[in-house]
């Protein structure tokens, strides 16, 4: 350990440069070991064995790596999801794990709302088709195009981000359904939405469905072929949550081609960057049948300049509290 330092904190990787901001939050008694890699195979055992805590962004943590972390008092992920972290291996090693849920709520909610409004108003489709109009102009209004207060939005998952989306939807007059069995009775009254007791009810009644739930045993593939078939004909789907919620691109393509699904906006995919698939090829090539009906953003709904700073500060604060008090806030115990 470097002279004058009391702790060693490892940082596998993050999106933005060197960990200077983390160093400021963690303090002068912390030595930072910056691995600068998402490849877990490159993490040397002797470096891992020195760590009092580890911060992770995009790297995977599997049993082999975890077995070398004999000194580690906790692992903290910069983001919210933890599909790449082997929680069972951490638990077996006696190492607690925490994510970082208290950042980016506003950004994801804004991103989802922008997608909802733009697809509902058919803005991208109007834009794509207007480029080819050689006669007339206003006569090319796309139909159907209902008023906001004549449409129903179904929010799947009414936690932090889902609640922020509900609050943003209200001024536009949408009728709002919410499905979240984890929320207590009366939550819908406090927030202001109609509770759907069953997911199938929400899917069948909603003109727009927006996903704000984690990917777990209950929700993975929630909009597979069967889930998409349960949607109201002509519905819109927005996913700013986890790619695994809509992992069947074949089924998504069928639903879009048939018109059963009017449009979709996706910020997260199972594979990123996305590989080859006929639906993605049609999207990349701006094929006419899909024009303005599929919007894909590169998993950056969470991002703003302010959120990036907040994310790094909050994760570092979590580690600092752990080192000072032995308490790990935002601890994740769910093993699903």
Q: Is 201 among the residues known to form the active site?
A: no
Asked if residue 335 is part of any domain, the answer here is: no
**Whole-structure pTM value:** 0.87
Are 207 and 184 found together in one domain?
yes
**CA-CA distance, 168 to 106, in Å (whole number)?**
10
DSSP annotation of 98 reads: E
Asked if residue 333 is part of any domain, the answer here is: no
Q: Is 14 among the residues known to form the active site?
A: no
Identified catalytic residue from 126, 299, 329, 331: 299
Residue 78 has pLDDT above 90, yes or no: yes
Count CB atoms within 10 A of the CB of residue 279: 21
Are 150 and 205 found together in one domain?
yes
**CA-CA distance, 247 to 228, in Å (whole number)?**
12
Q: Is 73 among the residues known to form the active site?
A: no
264-283 confidence digits (pLDDT tens): 999 999 999 998 999 999 99
Tokens of 283: 């999207």
Asked if residue 238 is part of any domain, the answer here is: yes
Asked if residue 316 is part of any domain, the answer here is: yes
Under the banding of pLDDT at 50, 70 and 90, the label for residue 92 is: very high
Identified catalytic residue from 73, 242, 312, 320: 242
Asked if residue 331 is part of any domain, the answer here is: no
Are 150 and 268 found together in one domain?
yes
Residue 245 has pLDDT above 60, yes or no: yes
| Domains in the chain, number | 2
Domain span including residue 310? 7-103+305-325
**CA-CA distance, 242 to 44, in Å (whole number)?**
31
Are 65 and 78 found together in one domain?
yes
Where does the chain show beta strands of DSSP type E? 7-11, 30-34, 53-56, 75-77, 97-98, 152-156, 175-179, 194-195, 208-211, 235-239, 261-266, 294-296
The residue ranking higher by pLDDT, 159 or 102, is 159
Percent of the chain with pLDDT over 70: 99
Average pLDDT for residues 317-328, to the nearest whole number? 96
Are 123 and 147 found together in one domain?
yes
Residue 35 has pLDDT above 80, yes or no: yes
Under the banding of pLDDT at 50, 70 and 90, the label for residue 334 is: low
What pLDDT was estimated at residue 333? 82
In 3D space, the residue among 148, 216, 205 whose CA is nearest the CA of residue 181 turns out to be: 216
Average pLDDT, the chain: 94
Q: What share of the chain is helix, strand, coil (3-state, %, to 5)?
A: 40, 15, 45
191-238 confidence digits (pLDDT tens): 999 999 999 999 999 999 999 998 888 899 999 999 999 999 999 999
Asked if residue 127 is part of any domain, the answer here is: yes
- Edge-to-edge strand ranges of the sheet holding 261-266: 194-195, 175-179, 152-156, 208-211, 235-239, 261-266, 294-296
What pLDDT was estimated at residue 258? 97
HSE at residue 64, side-chain half, CA atoms within 13 A, is 8
Are 99 and 111 found together in one domain?
no
Under the banding of pLDDT at 50, 70 and 90, the label for residue 335 is: low
Are 237 and 136 found together in one domain?
yes
150-161 confidence digits (pLDDT tens): 999 999 999 999
What pLDDT was estimated at residue 1? 65
């Amino acid at each position: 350990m470097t002279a004058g330092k009391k702790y060693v904190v490892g940082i596998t990787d993050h999106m933005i440069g060197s960990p200077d901001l983390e160093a400021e939050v963690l303090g002068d008694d912390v030595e930072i070991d910056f691995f600068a890699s998402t490849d877990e195979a490159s993490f040397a055992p002797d470096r891992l064995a020195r760590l009092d805590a580890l911060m992770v962004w995009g790297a995977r943590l599997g049993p082999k790596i975890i077995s070398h972390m004999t000194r580690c008092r906790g692992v903290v992920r910069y983001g919210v999801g933890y599909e790449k972290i082997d929680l069972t291996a951490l638990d077996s090693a006696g190492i607690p794990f925490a994510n970082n849920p208290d950042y980016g709520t506003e950004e994801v909610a804004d991103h989802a709302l922008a997608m909802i409004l733009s697809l509902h108003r058919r803005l991208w489709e109007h834009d794509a088709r207007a480029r080819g109009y050689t006669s007339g102009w206003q006569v090319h209004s796309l139909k159907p195009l209902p008023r906001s207060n004549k449409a129903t939005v179904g929010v799947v998952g009414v936690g932090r981000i889902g609640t922020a989306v509900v609050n943003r939807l209200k001024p536009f007059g949408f009728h709002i359904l919410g499905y979240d069995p984890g929320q207590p009775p009366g939550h819908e009254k406090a927030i202001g939405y109609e509770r759907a007791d069953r997911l199938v009810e929400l899917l069948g009644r909603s003109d727009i469905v927006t996903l704000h739930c984690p990917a777990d045993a209950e929700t993975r593939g929630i909009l597979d072929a069967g889930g998409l078939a349960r949607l109201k004909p002509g519905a819109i789907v927005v996913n700013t949550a986890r790619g695994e919620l809509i992992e069947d691109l074949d089924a998504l393509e069928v639903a879009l081609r048939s018109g059963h699904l009017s449009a979709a906006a996706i910020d997260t995919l199972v594979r990123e960057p996305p590989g080859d698939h006929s639906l993605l090829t049609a999207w990349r090539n701006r094929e006419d049948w899909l024009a303005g009906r599929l919007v894909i953003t590169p998993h950056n709904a969470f991002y703003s300049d302010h959120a990036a700073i907040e994310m790094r500060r909050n994760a570092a604060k979590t580690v600092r509290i752990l080192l000072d008090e032995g308490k790990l806030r935002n601890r994740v115990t769910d093993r699903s």
